[in-house]
Amino acid sequence: MGDIIAALDVGTTKICAMIAEVEGEEHLTVLGVGQVPSRGVKRGTVVNVQEVTSAIGEAVAQAERTANIRVANAFVSFSGHHVESVPNRGMVTLSPRGTRSVTLEDVTRVLENASAIHLPPNREVIQTLPRMFKVDDQEGIREPLGMEGFRLEVDALVITASTVAVQNLVKCVRANGIEIDGLVLQGIASGMAVLTPEEQELGVAVLDVGGGTTDVAIFLEGSPWHVFATQVAGYHLTQDVAIGLRMPLAMAEALKVRYGHAQPKWVSPDENVGVEGFGDDSRRTISRHFLAQILEARAEEILDLVWRGIKASGYDGLLPAGVVLTGGSAQLAGFRDLARERLKVPVRIGHVPDLRGLPEEFHSPMYATVVGLLKWGAKQPGALSYGQIRSDAPQEEDWWGKMGDWFRRLLP
């Protein structure tokens, strides 16, 4: 049996757990899945620790029962409008007396150096991702291991977040007896699931329209280059329908999914739908065209906010592969075409890859994050069988081998 990894996606509308067996990065077998409606999360941030803790426990328990494995560690997604990224450089000396080969310890040191940025007390570094390395005067290096030189430098993407938001999420996970193997930004995790190597190389943006936030991750030259999030997302589409048509949120969500369209011009004004709302005489008929008008207004706002963020990053002219849509709202009829019109770049919907053992319903774009977490975890060194402690990790020689494999996968 291969290594076992677990993924936990804590979102605004759903909490999803997934357990998989790893036999090489490209050989994942899903052993168990669990999903419950989210409770206690608003706009990607924990607002009720007790409710989130309970919901995480329920989702994990479902996955554990199917897999017959107890989860002790997991890779966990995070998001929220508080997430920011900043490019930074790090540099370390390899040897003051002469050249020597770059080791993994050197890579760790230079990434730690790049992480040393000034932050206010209420923020902390969550991830530091290498974009490109430099050994002495040789630039454009993706894998510096074994190269000879005096000095190692890195161009890195440093991702920061609200300390309180991160601590609350960590608290909810650990309250279920689960240690966190790594926190991974939702947009980056989704990109791991749906992007091709060529898209990542040429330049592409992942647009993950979740329930509470819209997360954007820009990939260039094979690595995440910039990330940001907006506070307008799928929940606001549902809320607009509920308010505009005077109906409960659950009914508005069902109406959006079944009859919604982001482009009224493709919906006949004569097409009507029977709905139920509030009040004694709640059964009535509404125009599907009017429903589409409600959804179009908010969908345009989401896309316009995203485009402003992309232009502000300076990468708007560096996305030949366009935009890949993930998240539940990516499935809204007409949203892809509207995105193509508003953003003026190629747009496609990112579907989850066909992993062995993955139930058919989990191939939807709304599960890109949790599957991407598994793929991210498969890249990490020395994955543990759950229930073991780190002292049971492979011996030193094997560990270094796995670290080398991981590093080669990190920067294709």
Distance CA 246, CA 275 (A): 10
Q: Decide: 255 and 312 in contact? Cβ < 8 Å.
A: no
Condensed to tens digits (0 to 9), the pLDDT of residues 239-277 reads 999 999 999 999 999 999 999 999 999 999 999 998 887
Give domain status of residue 265, yes or no. Answer: no
Tell whether 248 is covered by a domain.
no
For residue 233, tell me if it sits in a domain: no
For residues 249 and 236, give the distance between their C-alpha atoms in angstroms, rounded to a whole number: 11
Residue 21 lies in a domain: no
CATH number at residue 102: 3.30.1490.110
Structure tokens at 288: 């599907």
**336, part of any domain:** no
Cα-to-chain-centroid distance, residue 369: 5
CB 141 within 8 A of CB 150: no
Q: Rounded to the nearest 10 degrees, what angle do helices 163-174 and 49-67 cross at?
A: 50
What domain range is 105 assigned to? Answer: 84-161
Please identify every stretch of the chain with a pLDDT value under 70, giving residue numbers as ranges: 1, 24-26, 280-281, 381-412
pTM of the predicted protein model? 0.87
Question: What gap in Å lies between CA 352 and CA 348, rounded to an integer?
Answer: 13
In a domain, 294, yes or no: no
Structure confidence by residue, pLDDT tens digits, 359-397? 998 999 999 999 999 999 988 754 332 222 223 333 334
Total number of domains in the chain: 1
What local confidence, expressed as pLDDT, does residue 226 receive? 96
In sequence order, what are the residues at sequence separation of 6 or more whose Cβ sits closer than 8 angstroms to the Cβ of residue 397? none
Q: Angle at CA 65, nearest 5°, toward 358 and 79?
A: 60
Report yes or no on 276 lying in a domain.
no
Tell me the three state secondary structure of residue 211: coil
**Residue-level pLDDT at 297:** 97
Residue 112 lies in a domain: yes
